[in-house]
A and B are shown apart, each in its own frame.
Chain A
């Protein structure tokens, strides 16, 4: 491995989306040596994902998008400028620069039957012999603890499992420069540690890593360069001066004392998905009282989302008892783990207004305002940064004033401002005598807001 001689150099003058009045990115210079780790920290909407897409050649996509930049990669110079648009050959570019998108699901091809085959896609298209593919996939799956998932259908993975599989696929695809957008989001502690170790090994083998993140976590240890992105402008942060707060743990909020009315009660419940014989959760006992905020923790695939979906009436109970203080389905609001599954309308306003009686619809501006989404009413949800998109999904739930609020990984993609909004929302539901159940890997957040935490075990372990 030879440090000092850059694999990939970027001089990005500016980038602007079509129809935008302002540059989304400006004045960013990067020089990535083999084996280096570059961390780019930025709040939601600061332009991280746009930067990632530019670096891996996915932007500019349309003619209206303006990019002025010079890339130097493996001895080639590629110049983008106004007037002349360079068409990048995506396959050629991706051989050099690979990217893990923020919604990791997008990395999966969706045309293969099993996880093992999904992992093989890049190798297959490169013509790697079967025996060699098999060996590499098995070895990596073992490293990442994916062994048991290899025969599963990629469409039936939990959120964390999905990200892990996408990361494994990206690693196998083998580009010398990897751009990772929040690679640890939604992963449990064990998986995070395995991924961190894998990233270390990739660096040792000469891969240059660029990490896009909103909070500094375990994956950034030993970074060579730290940059902070603010409104699309980059500032370098010298190593010693770095004092970006880690996800802070706030003091628990003990204003609320649980009442006696049970809003949700599972006893000896067995949960699962139609079409899959194995149960996702067995022997579940969980009680949530009015006025109480309960955390739901557990490793990836332990069934947290399954519990919430069942409580919201999306899945049927296989065995056991589910009692609800409210009418079934009514009075229960669920924020899904992936906002893409919750949003389907053309504008934020239409999204929140969907299915509402006119009398409630007048409250939309108020709800949007309380979530810091004022002024986004006519925007397409997909044009919003990930954090805002999650808050739009939350707005569709809150507008119905649920007595029981179920939140699935609500902190994912939220920056400090978003977390503040979320805490306020939880406080308000408790204030009016409702209850909140939060599934999350963010222990710090759970300790801060939840009165107690219910810990789930993976089914296989629980059965033993």
Chain B
């Protein structure tokens, strides 16, 4: 259920900062082999957490359309490049265009895959607790908790509505047509009941002190260690200084 793989008890911020540093440096370096290595590394980490399949599936859902549009814009109808490989009407395929499309594709790939990997490795409850316990404004944690629980809550409501409808003789979805039918039947009740549910609960949430206005504590302990603290600092430094170091020579060259 909620047993997300605990990556050797990492603090959510450690995962986030590391991912951000890796993405920043690879993007700044702009080397295809580095991008490929990072993508492979992400897959490896996902495989260790038994989430490789999911990463590939979700990644494909986001990346295939993105890559398609890169290819369309830069690869097939490039207007700038000189090495024309083929041309027919508005279509103009150039080496430069294909290279640009490939570079952009790799860049988006790293961003998306690293982001997805983070979302799979970080327990959302740990993340909320980490924000609550950090020096972020007191409302931030609640806002995050409410946002992150939105989808699971909707999924739960829609399961309940599906069961209620099954009790009225509407078969549970089977096949694409059944799926479409159930989406149609459930969507309006889902919206109405979510609004109702929010109204029912909001008064009690406020009564229990949400969102916290001042100093607050958390029962949950977020895994952390002095070593991780250092890793975060180093990664944060690398995230800022890495790209600067990589890009500075090109600026100097230009200037």
Residues of A within 8 A of B (CB): 56, 58, 61, 90-91, 93-94, 98-99, 101, 103, 106-107, 109-113, 116-117, 120-130, 133-134, 137, 153, 155-156, 169, 173, 275-276, 312-314, 329-330, 333-334, 336, 341-346, 354-356, 382, 396-397, 400
Contact = CB atoms under 8 A, between A and B. Distances in A.
Q: Which of B149, B209, B216 has the most CB of A within 10 A?
A: B209
Contact-size category for B: 35 or more
A275 B1 CA distance: 6
Given A56-B207, A94-B208, A116-B219, A110 B167 contact: no
Interface in B117-135: 125, 128, 132
Nearest to B200: A106
Nearest to B123: A113
A334 B217 contact: no
Given A125-B208, A126-B209, A355 B1 contact: no
Contacts of A125: 208-210, 212, 216
Nearest to B213: A91
B2 A153 contact: yes
Interface stretch (B15-23, B56-64, B78-86, B153-161): B153-161
Given A117-B219, A346-B192, 16 more contacts: A58-B207, A91-B206, A109-B205, A110-B153, A111-B142, A117-B125, A120-B219, A121-B208, A123-B217, A123-B219, A125-B209, A128-B217, A313-B166, A341-B163, A344-B192, A344-B193
B209 A121 contact: yes
Contact of B165 (A113, A121, A354): A354
A58 B209 contact: no
Contacts of A333: 167
Contacts of B128: 111
A107 B202 CA distance: 9
B248 interface: no
Q: Which of B2, B192, B207 has the most CB of A within 10 A?
A: B207
A126 B213 CA distance: 9
Interface of B: 1-2, 125, 128, 132, 142, 145-146, 149, 153, 156, 160-161, 163-170, 189, 192-193, 196, 200-201, 203-210, 212-221
A91 B205 CA distance: 9
Nearest to B192: A346
B211 to A, nearest CB: 8
Contacts of B169: 329-330, 355, 400
A346 B196 CA distance: 11
A355 B168 contact: yes
Contacts of A344: 161, 164-165, 189, 192-193
Nearest to B146: A111
Interface pairs A-B: 4 shortest CB-CB: A125-B209, A94-B207, A344-B189, A90-B206
The DSSP consensus for interface residues of chain B is helix
A130 B217 contact: yes
6 contacts: A103-B200, A117-B220, A121-B209, A124-B216, A126-B216, A129-B217
A74 B167 CA distance: 50
Contacts of B125: 112-113, 117
A369 B217 CA distance: 54
A330 B200 CA distance: 34
A127 B215 contact: yes
Contacts of A336: 164, 167
Given A129-B217, A133-B217, A109 B210 contact: yes
Contacts of B2: 113, 153
Contacts of B170: 355
Given A110-B153, A111-B146, A355-B170, A127 B217 contact: yes
Contacts of A129: 217
B165 to A, nearest CB: 7
Contacts of A329: 166, 169
B167 A122 contact: no
Given A113-B2, A341-B163, A341-B164, A107 B217 contact: no
Q: Which of A58, A129, A134 has the most CB of B within 10 A?
A: A58
Contact of A91 (B189, B193, B207): B207
Nearest to A355: B168
Contacts of B189: 344-345
Contact of B209 (A91, A130, A312, A400): A91
Given A90-B207, A124-B217, A341-B164, A111 B149 contact: yes
A94 B207 CA distance: 5
Contacts of B214: 127
B54 to A, nearest CB: 16
A356 B205 CA distance: 38
Given A112-B125, A116-B219, A334 B167 contact: yes
A135 B210 CA distance: 22
Contacts of A346: 192
B15 to A, nearest CB: 18
A312 B164 contact: no
Contacts of B210: 109, 121, 125
Contacts of B1: 153, 156, 275-276
Nearest to A120: B219
A134 B219 contact: yes
Q: Which of A90, A112, A130, A344 has the most CB of B within 10 A?
A: A344
